[in-house]
Amino acid sequence: MSKKKLHIALAGNPNSGKTTLFNALTGAHHKVGNYPGVTVEKKEGQRIRGDRVYHFIDLPGIYSLTAYSIDEVVARDFLLDEKPDLIIDVLDSTNLERHLYLCLQFQELGIPVIGALNMSDEAEAKGIKIDAEALSRILGIPMVKTIGTHGTGIDFLLDKVDETLEHPQLLDRSIRYGDEIEAKLQRLQTLINLDEHFAARFPSRWLAVKLLEKDANAYERLKDHSNGPSIAAEARDAISWLEKHYGKDNEIVLSEQRYGYIRGAVKECIKIVKKPDFSITETIDRVIMHPVLSMPIFILVLWAMFQITFTLGEYPMAWLESFFSWLSGVLYQVLPESGFRSLIIDGVIAGVGGVLSFVPLIIILFFLLSILEDIGYMSRAAFATDKFLHTFGLHGQSIFPMMLGFGCSVPAIMAARTLKSRRDRILTILVIPFISCGAKLPVYVLLAAAFFPDNPALMVMTIYGIGVVLSLIAAFVLNRTILRGDPTPFVMELPPYRAPTLRGIIWHVWDKTREYIKKAGTVILAASILIWAITTFPSSSLPESQQEALKVSYLAEHPESSQEMLDQYLEVQASEYQLAHSLAGIIGRTIEPVFKPLGFDWKIAVAMVTGFTAKEVIVSTLGILYGVGQGESEASEGLRVALQHDPVWNPLVAFVLMLFVLVIPPCFAAQATIRAELGWSWWAFSVVTLLVFGWLLGLAVYQIGILAGVGL
């Protein structure tokens, strides 16, 4: 017997605990993708119970169905076009009056709605007692108390889903706006329903309300109605009459009617049984949100985050490096000399293994970012930096995408969709590449450890800081040139501080780390094999005459050398000759003149080219080019030592390379996201300006460093 599948949309305001409730409903049985046509994250999951399959779609957190941001557009269009069987509106029980506004809008869509009174435990702790049954009777929809973090109320919620879908006639889905407004709405609904095909696509009640609210999208949709122009004219006449009658803008009139209805419902159904002596959130915010202390605290939090990341990550990273070095040595002894052995050791292990060594750092960084997000500090960071960011033309809410950029540029760019102004979105997305993502971290750590061993963490933090400064400078310049204008006002709800759940943090960390490991097993593996191939072929042998000359020269300089030391020296020279005459060597020497003014040789040039696919590939490329996958003793010392022994490298070159990696365009995935969000022209502008600026910055720093004799 086949199971009945129900499509249920999970919706609600930001900070309502929607994600935790979604996880409680679906467990691990969900997938992440994008909504068609946009790079807005789409989460879907399932739960099987009895003869039913509940398919949940987690909509972006929104405040209203009057769409301004991309999030709101996606949520509105999904509900109108996909028409799910039911909407579960996730409501913050501690702030019910504000959250019910969106619930009333859902009720006008003609889709069954259930209210999930989430975080009911926090409401009770604050002395807020909600009569869910009374609220259900007043609003005409089921209201269920839930605690998403604990999974409390899930079964009862699903019972209500079944009951609601079996008896939809019991629902009274929309509020009354008063006789004058209702008369106008009824007239518009009658006209809309004359076109049956159109009325089947768009709920007449919802559309009539939106027309009276002067919603531009509603008037745009009317163009598909057979009598659209006359309905639009009727709506404008109704608006004119109502505004004269009430003496105020019609949007305000409808909003006041909703809030009046909500206040009446809240007064009837909510009682404050006790008032806490103090609020922990308010107490902490007196310090965290202090006008003077907020910015220093924000900087201190970032400093602590990176200090913890490098301090704790140093040991497991060293263990992984030792493991891959040991594995290379074992395979070198076990496998017979062949192209396959070279591929496995010099290609796969040297490339992918080098990147996987940095997984502990990525895990720790994502873990700390998840804690900051879950406890509610990210919202405070936005408020703390709002005034400062306005100085550079950025919106206060831009701090969210910028902080996410420390993890990965792709979700950071996607997060800019929450900004309501297109100008603010463009400006934020264009400066995100200056924020150092997790993929750049392995490059920084490698070079900092090799050439700034006294305090590598400080050097890495310096590069991160330079990236933030450059992003602000770029925003300042763009705001006063091609993106002139003032940021939109910053209005945002501050959630109360909440203890993060271990389950939620583990899920976030696993979700992000999985993507990093997945990239290592796909993109970086493919790149490593390709790099191994172009460094191995065509095969070239060191001419005997040149070999003899090198032998004589070496013995003259090292008369006490043993035969083993001589053989090792000649083998290294043979490898260098092979590499120089391989396809990689030919490519590198061809493009070397472009990078030479920055102090880079052909090997670094090759690594820069391959690094355009993903920044982690730079490490794997250098590992292959410097032969650290080989089982020889000098190679097994690691890539850091190999770089230190190369005369091309010095602290100045390492610093310039870190700056160049910081500035050049992000990985292909991030570039694809920029193109999807902003279009081809802005993507091309981003790529060209980052390449030109990165080269000019590297040139300036290197040449000034040479003149000053720094780092040589």
Q: Which residue has the higher pLDDT, 628 or 19?
A: 19
Task: Give 93's pLDDT tier (boundaries 50, 70, 90).
Answer: very high
The confidence score (pLDDT) of residue 386 equals 74
Q: In the structure, what pLDDT confidence band is assigned to residue 35 with cuts at 50, 70 and 90?
A: very low
State the DSSP code for 88: E
Last residue of a domain, one of 154, 170, 186: 170
Residues 219 and 117 in one domain: no
Residue bearing the bigger pLDDT, 533 or 576: 533
Indicate whether 631 pLDDT > 50: no
Domain count, the chain: 2
Most confident stretch, 27-31, 501-505, 539-543: 539-543
Output the pLDDT for position 37: 42
Residues near 536 by Cβ (< 8 Å), separated by ≥ 6?
A: 339, 342, 346, 578, 582
Name, in order, each residue with C-beta under 8 angstroms of 16's C-beta and a sequence gap of 6 or more: 61, 90, 91, 92, 99, 118, 119
Question: Beta strand 30-34 with 128-130: parallel, antiparallel or unpaired?
Answer: unpaired
Residue 503 to residue 500: CA distance in whole angstroms: 9
Query: Does 423 have pLDDT greater than 60?
Result: yes
pLDDT at res. 664: 93
Confidence (pLDDT) at 493: 59
- The pLDDT of residue 632 is 35
Query: Same domain for 145 and 222?
Result: no
**CA distances for 124 relative to 17, 58, 128, 177, angstroms:** 16, 27, 5, 32
Tens-place pLDDT, residues 50-64: 889 999 999 888 888
Last residue of a domain, one of 191, 215, 230: 230
Task: Tell me: do 24 and 153 sit in the same domain.
Answer: yes
Looking at 177-322, which runs of residues are DSSP E strands? 270-272
Within 13 Å, how many C-alpha atoms sit on residue 287's CB side? 6
Is residue 390 included in any domain, yes or no?
Answer: no
Token readout for 289 is 């949100």
Q: What is the pLDDT of residue 159?
A: 93
User: Quick one: pLDDT at residue 414?
Assistant: 73
Q: What is the mean pLDDT of the chain?
A: 83
Same domain, 33 and 137: yes
Q: Given pLDDT bands bounded at 50, 70 and 90, which one contains residue 503?
A: confident
Extract the tokens encoding 298.
Answer: 């924000």
Q: How confident is the model at residue 487 (pLDDT cuts 50, 70, 90)?
A: low
Residues 90 and 140 in one domain: yes
Residue 457 belongs to some domain of the structure: no
As a whole number of angstroms, the longest Cα–Cα distance in the chain is 107
* Structural domain boundaries, residue 76: 4-170
162 and 13 in a single domain? The answer is yes
Helices (H), 611-650: 616-625, 639-645
Residue 550 domain flag:
no
Residues contacting residue 677 through CB under 8 Å, at least 6 positions apart = 38, 39, 413, 414, 416, 417, 425, 429
The pLDDT tens digits for 644-702 are: 888 899 999 999 999 999 999 988 778 877 888 888 999 999 999 999 999 999 999 99
At 294 the pLDDT is: 83
**pLDDT of 628 above 70:** no
Would you say residue 620 lies in a domain? no
Same domain, 102 and 199: no
Last residue of a domain, one of 134, 151, 170: 170
**479 CB-contact burial (10 Å; exposed 0-12 / middle 13-18 / buried 19+):** buried
pLDDT recorded at residue 171: 53
Report yes or no: 66 and 96 within 8 Å, Cβ to Cβ: no
* Cα gap 67→458, rounded to integer Å: 44
Task: Of 152, 131, 132, 123, give the one whose Cα is nearest residue 20.
Answer: 152
CATH code of 112's domain = 3.40.50.300
Report helix angle 456-479 to 441-451, nearest 10: 130
Place of tokens 């009354």: 176
**Strand bridging mode 41-49 / 52-58:** antiparallel
- The answer as to whether 221 is a domain residue is yes
| Identity of the residue numbered 66 | T
Q: Are residues 114 and 207 in the same domain?
A: no
What's the CA gap between 711 and 450, in Å, rounded?
Answer: 13
pLDDT at residue 362 above 60? Answer: yes
* 665 preceded by a cis bond (ω within 30 of 0): no
Q: Tell me, what's the pLDDT at 630?
A: 42
Residues 38 and 123 in one domain: yes
49 within some domain: yes
Number of C-beta neighbours around residue 647 at 10 A: 6
* Same domain (yes/no): 9, 119: yes
* C-alpha–C-alpha distance, residues 309 and 328, integer Å: 28
Question: Does 147 reside within a domain?
Answer: yes
Helix (H, G, I), strand (E, B) or coil at 227: coil
| Residue 238 amino acid letter | A
Asked if residue 212 and residue 157 are part of one domain, the reply reads no
Per-residue confidence band for 167, with pLDDT thresholds at 50, 70 and 90:
confident
Predicted local distance difference test score (pLDDT) of residue 633 = 31
Residue at 619 is within a domain? no
21 and 160 assigned to the same domain:
yes
Instruction: For residues 109 and 106, give the distance between their C-alpha atoms in angstroms, rounded to a whole number.
Output: 6
Structure tokens given for 584: 């990689």
217 compared with 524, residue with greater pLDDT: 217
Confidence tier at 624 by pLDDT (50, 70, 90) = confident
Q: Is the pLDDT of residue 276 over 60?
A: no
